[in-house]
Amino acid sequence: MTDLKALTANRIFDGADWHENAAVVFSNGRIDHIQPSASLAPEIERIDGGEIIAPGFIDLQVNGGGGVLLNEEPTVEGIATICAAHAKFGTTALLPTLITDTPDISARTVAAGIDAKTRGIRGFLGLHLEGPHLSVARKGAHDPTLIRPMEDRDLDLMLSCGRALDVLMVTIAPESVTQEQVTKLADAGIIVSLGHTEASYNVATVYAEAGIRTVTHLFNAMSPLGHREPGLVGAALDTGALYAGLIADGIHVHPAAMGAALRAKAGPGKIFLVTDAMSTIGTDMTSFTLNGREILRKDGRLTLADGTLAGADIDMISSVRYVHRNLGLSLEEALRMASAYPAQAARIENRKGFLKPGYDADFVVLGADLSMKSTWISGECAYA
C-alpha cells in the first residue's frame, strides 16, 4: 500500500506554469509530482482540493498574530501561536520578526527561535531581527531609546543564531552598522537587509557590495527617491542584485508608487510581499502594547497615539488579492510575489516557493474568487 496522497484542483499553479484538472501528489512531507487527476492510480489517497492550488505563501516579516506580539512573548509558544495564526491566511513559512528591543529580549528571542526549530514548529522558517541597529532619524514606530550601534556581542549573537537556524534575516542601517560587520554577517549566510535609514543612493550601493541582499518594506522608513538624490528607494530599484519587501495594503504605500516600483525594478532581484503584521491578525483586538506604548487599530491602520504607522493589519492572501485586483498584476505574478520571490530572497528556492518534485509539500487551496479554502504545510492540513 502506497503512502502517496493526491490533492486535486481544477487548476494548479506550480510557480511557473498552470496544470488543468490536475493533482499534486505528495508523501512524507515532500512533493512527488503533478499529474492529470483523471489518471491517478486507485491506490493513491485522493483529496478534493478545490478551484486553485498554488505554492504556499512565504512571509519574511511577521511581528505577530493570533493576539501575540513577538516582542511581548519571545517564547517558543509565542512563535507557535504566530505561525498558526498566519496559516489561516495561506502562509506556510514565515520569519517571526523582532522589532527593536533590549539585548535581553533579543537574546530570549534567539533562544526561542532555536527551540522552535528543534521542536519542529509548523510554519517556522527562522527569525528576522529588525533592529536595534537602525537610524533614529528613520525610526518609524521603533523606540528611539533602544536604537544603538552594533557591538561585538550583537554580532556574535547574530552569527551564532545564523548557524543554528535555516534562515536569519537582520535589518540594519549604515548609521549603526559598518560595512565590515555586514560582510561578516553575509559571509555567514545571514540575509542582511537595509531599512530604517537615511542612507544615500551611493551609501546604499556600497553596502550592497558589502553583502546587503534585501531592502525592508520598500518606501517606508527610508530615504525617498529624488531626482538628484535617488536615496535608498532609488538604490533598491536600480540595483539588480537587491530584493525588496513591500507592504501591499494601500496604506503604507500608494498604489501608484507600488506600480511604478514594480515596473522600474531592475533584476534579477524582485519585489516580494511582506505583511509586517502585528498581533491583531486573526483577532478582534482594537489595541495592543509595543515597548510599553499603546498601538491603536482602526480602519485597517495600526498607529501610535501621534499617528505614526506601527506595523500592518494585513495577511498574505489579502496582499495577493490587493496587487492582483488593485494593481492589475496577473494572478501568476501576484502569487509569485508571495511565494517564489521571497523564497529566492531568502535563498530557499531549492525547496520552497514552487510545486516541484522533491520540494516541501507546502501549498494553498483557493476558491475561484481567491477565498481561502485550506493551507497545507509539509503535506499536512494546517487550516481548513
Q: What is the pLDDT of residue 1?
A: 43
Residue 312, by phi and psi: left (phi above 0), alpha (psi -120 to 50) or beta?
beta
> Is 227 among the annotated ligand-binding positions?
no
The secondary structure of 76-129 as a DSSP string is HHHHHHHHHHHHTTTEEEEEEEEES--HHHHHHHHHHHHHHHHHT-TTB-EEEE
Paired residues of 58 in beta bridges: 93
Nearest residue to 34 via CA among 67, 15, 12? 12
Output the tens digit of pLDDT for each of the chain's 384 residues. 469 999 999 999 999 999 999 999 999 999 999 999 999 999 999 998 889 999 999 999 999 999 999 999 999 999 999 999 999 999 999 999 999 999 999 999 999 999 999 999 999 999 999 999 999 999 999 999 999 999 999 999 999 999 999 999 999 999 999 999 999 999 999 999 999 999 999 999 999 999 999 999 999 999 999 999 999 999 999 999 999 999 999 999 999 999 999 999 999 999 999 999 999 999 999 999 888 899 999 999 999 999 999 899 999 999 999 999 999 999 999 999 999 999 999 999 999 999 999 999 999 999 999 999 999 999 999 999
Question: Cell 537602525, residue?
Answer: 134
**In this structure, what is the dihedral angle of CA atoms 24, 79, 218, 289, given to the nearest 10 degrees?**
140
Residues 144, 134: Cα–Cα separation, whole Å: 9
Residues 122, 144: Cα–Cα separation, whole Å: 34
320 sits in which H/E element: helix 316-325
> Is 332 among the annotated ligand-binding positions?
no
Could you tell me the domains of the chain? 5-55+354-383 (2.30.40.10), 57-345 (3.20.20.140)
> Is 133 among the annotated ligand-binding positions?
no
pTM: 0.97
> Is 336 among the annotated ligand-binding positions?
no
> Is 254 among the annotated ligand-binding positions?
no
User: How many Cβ atoms sit within 10 Å of the Cβ of residue 84?
Assistant: 18
Active centre residues (catalytic): 276
Nearest residue to 300 via CA among 313, 311, 287? 313
Give Cβ neighbours of residue 292 (< 8 Å, ≥ 6 apart): none
- DSSP-derived 3-state class of residue 273: strand
